[in-house]
Structure 1
Amino acid sequence: MEVIILTKNSLEILNLAAEACDDKRAEDIMALDMEQVSLVADYFLICHGTNERQVQSIARAVKDKMEENDIAVKRLEGLEQARWVLVDLGDIVCHVFHIDERQYYNLERLWGDASQVPLEVGQ
């Protein structure tokens, strides 16, 4: 699998979001470079929690970490149901799944053409 190096700003944002996920014990944190395979976003950050409360906690932590660092959160979707929460950071979309939904939707396989991006946490 090809490894992509991001610009410093994107890498910092991606790692801040990954750190927030890791702080709430998100599992299997990974990032995909979507620039060549999708118009939706440049990068996906994907992780999961084992229950709805944890999924909500992870998503809120990402939102809070971005706001603390003056990074705009454009949209937060799915928080109430806490099965698949999207945190839209513009060029980066953070997908926080419940473990069952992550296995079902399997974004890593769906976007198999996307290169994995190295992260400073979650490995």
Structure 2
Amino acid sequence: MPRPQPANDTAHDAESVAALHALVMQSLDDDQAQETITIPLEGKSSIADHMVIASGRSSRQVASMAQKLAQRIKEQTGRNARIEGLPVADWVLIDAGDVIVHLFRPEVRSFYNLERMWGFVDMPVAGTA
């Protein structure tokens, strides 16, 4: 039977998740990601607490954003983020543990439409509302 965590450990975990999420959002903003949204997953899925979806103007920008994000995560948290899809860079997944990031070229993003799959169709895009 799992041991309950003390309240201060839970608060520390929430702070570290919030800090990781803020790092991801700042990195994407610094690298001029487009149409960045966050889908809160806490309590809805065990895979992560946040899913971030953003677009880059080209495969080259998508690859660059992914590599810089992974590097920043390593520098700031000591975690090694896993990256999938980097060679083609049409859709790159960065798994940072508590935050999952999907970076797309715009055409690929509209084709897969993850926002609709997760029920966030009518959410305003960050920075446009």
Cα shift at 1:76: 0.6
TM-score after normalising by structure 2: 0.77
TM-score after normalising by structure 1: 0.81
Q: 1:54-99 CA deviation, whole Å, 9 max, x = no partner?
A: 0001101110110110241341100111011011111211111111
Find out whether 1:53 has 2:60 as its counterpart: yes
- Are the aligned partners of 2:73 and 2:81 in contact in 1 as well (CA < 8 Å)? no
2:116 counterpart (106, 109, 117): 109
Find out whether 1:41 has 2:48 as its counterpart: yes
Which structure exhibits the higher relative contact order, with contacts defined as CA atoms closer than 8 Å and separated by 6 or more residues?
Answer: 1
- Are the aligned partners of 1:21 and 1:58 in contact in 2 as well (CA < 8 Å)? yes
List structure 1 segments (4+ residues) > 3 angstroms apart after TM superposition.
none
Higher helix share: 2
Cα shift at 1:7: 2.6
Secondary structure class of the residue paired with 1:69: helix
Cα RMSD over matched residues?
A: 1.9
Amino acid at match of 1:23: D
Q: Which has the larger radius of gyration?
A: 2
Identical-pair percentage: 33
